[in-house]
Amino acid sequence: MSSSILVAQNLSKVVSSAEGELTILHGLDLELPRSATLAIVGSSGSGKSTLLGLLAGLDLPSSGEVALAGHSLASLDEDRRARVRAEHVGFVFQSFQLLDTLDALANVMLPLELEGRTDARARARELLERVGLGQRLAHYPKQLSGGEQQRVAIARAFAAEPDILFADEPTGNLDSQTGERISDLLFALNRERGTTLVLVTHDERLARRCERLIRLEAGRLVASEP
Amino acid sequence: MDLPFLRLLSLAFRQLLRDARAGELRVLFLALLVAVTATTAIGYFGARLNASMLLRATEFLGADLRLSGSSPATAEQLAAGTTLGLEHARVVEFSSVIATDTAIQLASVKAADSAYPLRGELKSAPAPYQPDTPGPGPAPGEAWAETRLLAALSLEVGDSIEVGEKSLRLTRVLTQEPDRAGNFYSLTPRVLMHLDDLDATGVVQPGSRVRYRELWRGAPEALQAYRQQVTPLLAADQRLEDARAGNRQIGNALARGERYLNLASLAAVLLAGIAVALSAARFAIRRFDASALLRCLGLSRRATLALYGLQLGLLGLLACGLGAALGWLAQQGLFWLLRDLLPAEVPAGGLIPALAGGATGLVALAGFALPPLAALGRVPPLRVLRRDLVPVPPAAWLTYGMALLALGLIMWRLSLDLRLTLALLGGGLLAAFALGALLLSGLRTLRRLLATAPLAWRLGIGQLLRHPLAAAGQALAFGLILLAMSLVALLRSELLDTWQNQLPEQAPNYFALNVLPAEKERFMAEVARIAPQSAPLYPVVMGRLTAINGEPVRQIVSKESSGERATQRDLNLTWAERLPADNRLSAGQWWDRLEHGELPGVSVEAELAKNLGLGLGDRLTFSVGGITRDARVSSLREVHWDSFQPNFYMIFQPGTLQDLPATYLTSFYLPPGRDAEVVRLARSFPTVTLLQVEALLAQLRGILAQVTLAVEYVLLFVLAAGLCVLFAGLQATLDERLRQGALLRALGARRRLLVQTRRLEFALLGASSGLLAALGCELVSALLYRFVFDLPWHPHPWLLLLPALGALLVGAAGLLGTQRALNASPLQVLREG
């Protein structure tokens, strides 16, 4: 088994628009070992989210190759990519993406129920307690604050014990204090469970907490640290 | 990942419970529930009333089902009924000369066994013109006769008559046979005797003209089974008749009533379809995010689709089951409320209406919800990052084609009437297309006019203009709801009017036949004295059609054709200067416009002409008492057989038959309680046959009253269902409006502005729906009148009230529905987004 959980080679994404073809990503290479933390930064429209979508197998590149947990994504159809996601990947989104009709507990149980785990309820409860929402299990998303919703989303992301967690602007919709607490939680869980973390952000402070950082501008890699 | 079916099912069930708890399924569930409840209730109501009407109509046949033929039924045909447990009676009818020592008279004799009649009542009186009572028929050795036979032969009760070689004692006067009703033109008086005496008469020999009738009575399923077994065994001269076929007046009333009930339940199905269409699309759109997330969490496309399909299926089963049960309860309640007006014996209705109601809901759900649901499978998982990504919608023709196919299938299955289904669906579709285009272009014009309008107008109507397609779709949906409601209302009044005209208060209740030429003036003067309203006198010549264009009819008209009976018996031929008032020419010209040819003209009833294959210009040869007369078909007439007026198959040009022996025929109305005058009339004109059709009229009125009642209640049901669907539909379109309202309030709009905005928006939506409904209703009703109900169509100006009514209804419902947005804190609404 390769020590790298994520490898991207010469990754490009071209979309066609009314004005002609538009290249959003230009030949990008990337390799990430297990348990590493990576921040992708850049201004709005620099191609961060597009890159995240390609790395997580939510979309396919126009050219180039992504290998996620040893699976070459380009050779897989959507359903096989879904299976790879189910086995290896967790997500946290800027807009939380909780299901309105499910309470906090049911939202966290969802990926566990999809796996058919019998301990879904106990495990979801434990995770919600871990993120500090032990008292809010029966609350619906609209009854929770933004920070609380994001904590439910993080509990859900860690529920299925993913190898790699993709976070798209996880603090983007939160005030700085709540954002700080959410990133603390994210990194603490990451350490506890040895999960690889890839986060897209334009919050420099959050980015600096990652071991590695890449910076995009107009779809090109302009800096990689260290 | 692909999940095993059971895990998917349990997941779907849990999700459904959670969604239900969150109030997410309310609209779809309610729409389905209302739809299935209405369809089931109307289905039951219609089926049970229909069965009970048929039950009453069977009295006119003396049985539920009648097998008649000119040869006796075979052992196999009889065994089929007995094995199925049907009750059986046998009747043999023939003409015979009744002789006394001094006179003879041709009579129509009926020999019936002791079980006769199986339905309806046989009535007799101890002496002529005495009050009659119901009871069993004559015992062996006895006979009953009509008063006119006694008058013609100067007989009294207690005398004996000879029927063939058998002498029978007259014991009572026959006053009413249930199965005589439809036949009041038969000119010979009736004698009723017991079947056991038939052989002894020696009248029935091979080759003699005899009608054998096997009467059957029993459960509908057994009758159906009998019909299926016996139909292939029928000889060319045999026919199976039920109440519908047995009597034209009843048959037509029943058929129209049934069609109306059918139409009403189809309208309910249409309402159901619209309700489900409105809420199912919302169901799918609100699940775009969830399905993207599930795909993101690794669920395969197939499993995602299956999950939502199962959810929808479970929801559908639940709503349909509950709806069918509620529908059953609703009609039980209705029958309970109507218990004083309906006969005690109302058949139960079985399981079919409940199953049909439930199936309607499920098929409508599949037709309308599956296409938007299929889009869920195509939601790209990338939507979790980019909310603007929506699935490629399925081709519009596919979505609507599938929904329409589903709807058409249900309607056809439910009504078993392809013409009705096509007229309703085709007309609706045509109206929808034309009016949708009209509406869309209207909205676009409005956009230009709006620039200078006040803020409330710009906001309210701007909301509609922002998504003109969606607005046109909503107006169309509400328009179809109003259309279904007004169509059912429209046909109701039309049907009631038709029946009212068919049976006016003073419909003739007496027919006078055999008025001799020498007596006609004196008779009419006497009739005019006791009954101010009477029909004119029609001459009647009995004659038989023997040849068409020179060829004998027996060689031309096949035994299987329905015209065959008309060539086997004497027809009542008449002549007339003018076209009778309620007849209508469907082809050719009346005499006054006819050029004189070598042959006189004859006007033939259109249906008979069709059955005999006659066309304009054909030469017909009639035989009247051995004399032949030729005439050329100069016109075809449509005749209202269900009116209680004398009607004729053949009307000749005046001057054609005058030299032949004729009698006269008329009808008149006599108010109840004038029996003594009828007796006096009958005594002063002993040769005239007076037929009282009061009993038939009363029975027919009873049936029509029942159908009318059904029609009224079904209308109420459809209106109530329509209103529910309207509200459910509005709820389904509220999301966007709620958000806009909250935003405006957040921006500082005053409550008054919001109320005004909403009022304008909904009133416009309602008014355009009303306009669509009015135009569509005229179009569909024109199709229905022309092709289904056989009614003359004329415009209905009151439909122009529909736009106002629509504005009022939709406006009120919309305001009620958006009350929440006006009262809730804008922040909350925006956060619920």
Cβ B160 vs Cβ B102: under 8 Å: no
B779-792: pLDDT as tens digits: 888 887 777 777 77
Nearest CA in chain A to B20: A101
Q: Assess contact for B226 and B217: CB atoms under 8 A.
A: no
Tell me whether residues A82 and B299 touch, CB distance under 8 A.
yes
Residues of chain A found within 8 Å of residue B300, distances taken between Cβ atoms? 79, 82-83
pLDDT for the residue A10? 92
Confidence tier at B22 by pLDDT (50, 70, 90): low
Question: What per-residue confidence (pLDDT) applies to B208?
Answer: 67
The DSSP line for B676-694 is HHHHHHHHHSTTSEEEE-H
- CB contact A169 to B (< 8 Å): no
Chain B residues touching A159 at Cβ < 8 A = none
Residues of A in contact with B832 (CB under 8 A): 142
Burial B334-347 (b: 16+ CB within 10 A, else e): bbeebeeebeeeee
Residue type, B816: L
B594 vs B654, higher pLDDT: B654
Report the chain A residue with the minimal C-alpha distance to residue B833.
A142
Residue A183 confidence (pLDDT) above 90: no
Question: Quick check: A82 and B384 CB within 8 A?
Answer: no
Note which residues in 367-426 of chain B have CB less than 8 A from chain A.
380-382, 384-387
Considering the segment(s) A4-225 as one domain, its CATH architecture is 3-Layer(aba) Sandwich (3.40)
**What percent of chain A stands above pLDDT 90?**
16
Q: Do B384 and A93 touch (CB under 8 A)?
A: yes
Query: How many residues are present in chain A?
Result: 226
Q: Any chain A CB within 8 A of the CB of B302?
A: yes
pLDDT 10s digits, A21-67: 888 889 899 999 988 999 999 888 888 888 888 898 888 889 999 99
The closest alpha carbon to B13, from B302, B318, B297, B280, belongs to B318
- Alpha-carbon distance of B357 to B414, in angstroms, equals 9
Write the pLDDT tens digit of every residue in B201-213. Answer: 888 876 667 888 9
pLDDT at residue A138 tops 80: yes
- Which pLDDT band, with edges at 50, 70 and 90, does B322 fall under? very high
Minimal Cα–Cα distance from A85 to chain B, Å?
Answer: 5
To test the contact with chain B by mutation, choose from A40, A58, A168 the residue with the greatest count of B C-beta atoms within 10 A, namely A58
Give the pLDDT confidence of B351-363 residue by residue, as tens digits: 888 888 888 788 8
pLDDT of B342 higher than 70:
no
User: What residue in B sits closest to A96 (Cα-Cα)?
Assistant: B384
Nearest CA in chain B to A77: B300
Q: Which residue of B has its CA nearest to A116?
A: B7
- Best of B285, B296, B308, B829 to disrupt the A interface (most A CBs within 10 Å) is B296
Q: Does residue B184 register a pLDDT over 50?
A: no
| Cα gap B651→B656, rounded to integer Å | 10
- Which bin fits B295, alpha (ψ -120 to 50), beta or left (φ > 0)? alpha
In chain B, residues with a C-beta closer than 8 Å to the C-beta of A84 are 298
Give the A:B interface size as CB pairs under 8 Å: 89
- Per the prediction, chain B carries an average pLDDT of 78
pTM (2 d.p.): 0.61
Question: What count of Cα atoms within 13 Å lies in the side-chain half-sphere of residue B832?
Answer: 18
From the list B7, B21, B297, the residue facing A86 with the nearest CB is B297
**Secondary-structure breakdown of chain B: helix, strand, coil percentages, each rounded to the nearest 5:** 60, 15, 25
Query: Is the Cβ–Cβ distance between B567 and B648 less than 8 Å?
Result: no
**Chain A touched by B255 (CB under 8 Å):** no
State whether A52 and B302 contact (CB < 8 Å): no
Residue B2 is predicted with a pLDDT of 67
User: How far does the CA of residue B395 sit from the closest CA of chain A (Å)?
Assistant: 22
- Number of Cβ atoms within 10 Å of the Cβ of B232: 6
Q: Does A190 touch chain B (CB under 8 A)?
A: no
Inter-chain CB proximity B301 and A79 less than 8 Å: yes
Domain boundaries, chain A: 4-225
CA distance, residue B412 to nearest chain A CA (Å) = 39
| Predicted complex: ipTM over 0.90 | no
A203 min Cα distance to partner chain B (Å):
18
Residues 9-68 of A with CB under 8 A from B: 49, 52-53, 58-59
If DSSP codes are grouped into helix, strand and coil, which group holds residue B170? strand
Q: Please, which pLDDT band fits residue B564 given cuts at 50, 70 and 90?
A: low
Convert B501-511 to b/e letters by CB count within 10 Å (16 or more is b).
ebbeeebbbbb
- A 100-159 residues with CB below 8 A of B? 100-103, 106, 110-111, 113-116, 140, 142
Distance from CA of B309 to the nearest CA of A (A): 16
Half-sphere exposure of A217 toward its Cβ, with a 13 Å CA cutoff? 3
State yes or no: pLDDT of B459 exceeds 90: no
